[in-house]
């Protein structure tokens, strides 16, 4: 694939970034962009490398029609800064960690996912890990909104006005 490459990033790569990965992947299929846009997911910490996404994240996402059970947690690698065109952090802390590691020439690729929200006004996607069901639903609400805005952004970058 020669189109844009998007990396979703949270702390451990088991809740928020896998959710964002799964939602974006699903929405890219619906927008017929799945053959042009590459999506991946990683964490700023190597806490859960090799683990599947959190079961609660998967369960809430599956109720909305998203699947990402094929994903396994991995940590951000130095090569990611070169390889990806957009590296989207879920919150300020993870953005700061990415900025520390990212070569200056690649920093323009770093953004927060919620910058693409169209309906919600939240600076971050809050970590649901230590909370209840409402936190996982809030993550999905924010991520769905941001992914819709991200697809719009990607289309505009490729000259597609829709």
Which pair of tokens denotes residue 141? 């609400």
Strands (E), 11-123: 38-43, 86-89, 110-112
CATH topology classification for 5-157: Rossmann fold (3.40.50)
Q: How confident is the model at residue 161 (pLDDT cuts 50, 70, 90)?
A: low
Q: pTM (2 decimals)?
A: 0.96
Q: Does the pLDDT value for residue 157 go beyond 90?
A: no
Q: CB count, 10 Å around CB of 77?
A: 12
The secondary element (H helix, E strand) that includes residue 8 is strand 5-10
What pLDDT, on a 0 to 100 scale, did the predictor assign at position 162? 57
Active site members: 10, 16, 127
When pLDDT is averaged across residues 48-61 and rounded to a whole number, the result is: 97
Average pLDDT, the chain: 96
When pLDDT is averaged across residues 142-161 and rounded to a whole number, the result is: 90
CB-facing half-sphere around the CA of 11: CA atoms within 13 A = 11
Domains of the chain, by residue range, sit at 5-157
pLDDT, one tens digit per residue, over 89-128 is 999 999 999 999 999 999 999 999 999 999 999 999 999 9
């Amino acid at each position: 694939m020669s189109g844009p490459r998007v990396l979703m990033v949270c702390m451990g790569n088991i809740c928020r970034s896998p959710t964002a990965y799964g939602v974006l992947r699903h929405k890219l299929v619906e927008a017929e962009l799945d053959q042009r846009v590459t999506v991946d997911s990683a964490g700023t910490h190597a806490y859960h490398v090799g683990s599947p996404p959190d079961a609660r994240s998967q369960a809430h996402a599956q109720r909305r029609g998203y699947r990402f059970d094929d994903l396994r947690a991995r940590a951000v690698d130095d090569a990611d800064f070169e390889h990806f065109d957009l590296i989207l952090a879920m919150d300020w802390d993870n953005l700061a960690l990415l900025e520390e590691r990212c070569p200056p020439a690649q920093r323009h690729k770093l953004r927060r996912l919620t910058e693409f929200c169209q309906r919600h006004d939240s600076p971050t996607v809050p970590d649901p890990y230590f909370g209840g069901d409402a936190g996982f639903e809030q993550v999905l609400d924010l991520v769905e909104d941001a992914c819709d805005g991200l697809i719009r952004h990607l289309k505009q970058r490729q000259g597609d006005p829709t």
